[in-house]
Amino acid sequence: MNPATRPSGITLKNRWRMGARRLAGLCAGPVIGFALLLLVWKIISLRIVDIPSPESTLPAAWELFKNPFYDNGPNDLGIGWNILASLGRVALGFTLAAAVGIPLGFLIGRVQALNAVFSPVISLLRPVSPLAWLPLGLLLFQAADPAAIWAIFICSIWPMVINTADGVKRVPQDYLNVARVLNLSEWKVFTRILLPSVLPYMMTGVRLSIGTAWLVIVAAEMLTGGTGLGFWLWDEWNNLNVQNILIAVLVIGTVGLLLDLLLLALARRLDYREA
């Protein structure tokens, strides 16, 4: 039947029913998954005395999040401040990495000679563990905070360089032929052809980079101390407050997930195939 001639009442009702069914289908998986996680946690907490149970962790979390932005001096800050401190470092290190990595990726992808020069170096440096860079940062900057940002910079730059360069190499030859036939200027080629075509690849790199940056910052803060989620987690370990350690783990996971969702939404907006 032609959709235009279909009675609208039935269509609307059907649509509601279908929508509800789809929502239930979408939620079922995650709900079961998290229920299993809680179950495993509960079983472990029953077996091992030192691990607090989920139901005793929840009130502790409530205590923490009731007033996330209190400030009782540098060693006793609310969890909100610690999250913001970590996010601030990630933002700074990541922005620097993007500012260097994305243009470098474009150059490597576009100029074969640069690719030959940089590819082996990147292959060598990329697998280096994030924390291996930290002492070098401490030596260079003589301070903990810039060293942590340095570690984020150096670890989150590679996915952006590699994915951007890969995207540039994968620009369809058809599009480049259009540019060649028209003798477009390099600037026009960049803004009208390379950039829109590479954006999806670039955003994949950005998402991987943010993921890496978030992994690195927690580890770096454990070593550099001061503020941040990593420091807080280590501090709670020193206090033997296991409930808060578990809360920290969940908070780190949640923030990382939110960062990724945010970038995924941004990537969808920038992708010409889905715009």
Partner 1 sequence: MEKFVRIEYVEQRYDTRGGPFVALRDINLDIAQGEFISLIGHSGCGKSTLLNLIAGLARPTDGVLLCAGREITGPGPDRAVVFQNHSLLPWLTCHQNVYLAVERVFGGGETPGQLKARTASALNLVGLGHAMHKLPREISGGMKQRVGIARALAIEPKVLLLDEPFGALDSLTRAQLQDELLRIVSSTHTTTIMVTHDVDEAVLLSDRIVMLTNGPAATIGDILPVGLPRPRHRIALLSDPRYTACRAAILGFLHERHTPPQAGQGGATPSYVSPSEQPESTTAS
The distance of closest approach from Cβ of residue 183 to partner 1 in the complex, given in angstroms and rounded to an integer, is 6
Helices 195-224 and 229-238: crossing angle in degrees, nearest 10, is 30
Residue 267 binding partner 1, by CB under 8 A: no
Question: Per-residue string for binding with partner 1, 186-205, x by CB under 8 A?
Answer: --x---xx--xx--------
Nearer to partner 1, 118 or 175 (CB): 175
Contact predicate 70/78, CB 8 Å: yes
d(C-alpha 244, C-alpha 269), whole Å = 37
d(CA 275, CA 267): 10
Amino acid at 158: W
> Which of 81, 175, 190, 237 forms a contact with partner 1 (CB under 8 A)?
175
Q: Which stretch binds partner 1 (CB under 8 A): 8-16, 69-77, 170-178, 238-246?
A: 170-178
| Residue with tokens 């990495």, as numbered in its chain | 97
CB of 15 to partner 1, least distance (A): 24
Backbone angles phi, psi at 127, to 5 degrees: -75, 0
How many residues line the site for partner 1 (CB under 8 A)?
Answer: 17
Binding string to partner 1 for residues 231 to 260, with x set by CB under 8 A, is what? Answer: ------------------------------
- For residues 197 and 227, which CB has a smaller minimum distance to partner 1 in the complex? 197
CA–CA distance, 271 with 3 (Å, rounded to integer): 30
